[in-house]
Structure 1
Amino acid sequence: MSAERATNQPSVVREGAVTHVLLWTGFPLLGAAAGWVLSLVPGWLGLLPGWAAALPLLPGPEQIDALAGLTGPVLTTALVVAGVAAGGVLALLSYNDMVAVEVDTEGVRITRPGKRSEFGRDRVAAVFLDGKDLVVLGPDTAELARERTDHGAGRLRAAFEAHGYRWCDADPHRDAFQRWVDGMPGLEQHAQAVLRARRTALEAKDTDDGAELRAELARLGVVVREEGHRQYWRPVPRGGAQDG
């Protein structure tokens, strides 16, 4: 197969089979081991965190109270089974954080459970990793997408460069950001209010609200990033300024 034909094939970056095997063996085995150890500890019921009873597929408060009356091999078996179930729940929840990235000459598709973003080739000006966030920039320097991923920079870079996309080792507009201070000039009141709300979300570690408020700022022509609870912003140039 020629190099030209090879680059016409989509490049897909996703978790491999090894990851799935590790999830569905590692978590249940760790849960089983935790259940066995717990059964050997006197007063084990008091060691359970309050949120454990709220996990799906696991015993509720009444069942946990019933377990407290068990002893010996019956208790050990019950706790090991509960641990395996807990491991299975954690493995299943891990899929919510899995992101698949598909790249070809037509465009870019980023998929996670319940969400899919797609951008045509002419809409993608640059791509880079910001920490663990995959960021796609448009020709006007606005962020088209920002998705948390555990994929390595090498795999992602190879996928994008194979189809002629511009991959950057860092944000090409990092120097344009300035730290946000409440009431500072250069921002309209609506954007100031959204940044205040987002500061509260960051302090509360509410990632969903933070992402929603980021999208609202994008609609206002403001790109935002954070370091801890500190927010930094830059405007999207009016008139479609090209990526520098």
Structure 2
Amino acid sequence: MRQIVLDTETTGLSAEAGDRIIEIGCVELVSRKLTGNNKHFYLNPERDSHEDALKVHGISNEFLRDKPKFAAVAEDLLAYLQGAEIIIHNAAFDVGFLNKELELCGLPPLRAHVAQVTDTLAMAKEMFPGKRNSLDALCDRLGVDNSARTLHGALLDAELLADVYINLTRGQDALLIDMAPGEAVGGIRTQVDLRAFTLPVLLANEQEAAAHEDVLKQLDKASGGKTLWRSWSESVA
């Protein structure tokens, strides 16, 4: 499925209170690979940003004065998003703002145009209970370079989130490595199945096993004792 990683910047925190979108950044993934077919808009929100919002995104009110209004780009944006899975960090926030902008244009809400919306914040909370799961925290945890992120920016954040999402969803299928057509003999797309190789099994030493046990205890504590591996391992034993 075609996937679009999306992020917005806004004048404030409440679409219902009249805050508006000032920037939209979209990054396209096809077969879990960046295509370069991205979308980026700066928008005139017809109001000033709150002082706290300016500290976050650094996009001045003066810079946005001559930018198009959301209504002018709505058709182009919806055509780009049509039928895709939309991936957003803290999706309720961005979707709420997009729905309000679409409502002001007399258009149906976002979910009427896309296949589904995936919230990476919800995914991260499930995978890392009790941990910080902001975009910066996930970049640090998953080894994604966010050194260029001094301020929030919709396109940069969408690019970072695309890398974070790929890392969050990398499972057993990651053992299959696609080779691009230019790398394959005769331009034929092939797959290298690493499962065909005999890989050595490296057992944890005592120090590593103790560190692993400590992490399990922390997860168990953070989830309020709701983890299942203790009872499952005991029943298997």
Larger Rg: 1
TM-score, scaled relative to structure 2: 0.27
TM-score, scaled relative to structure 1: 0.27
More strand by share: 1
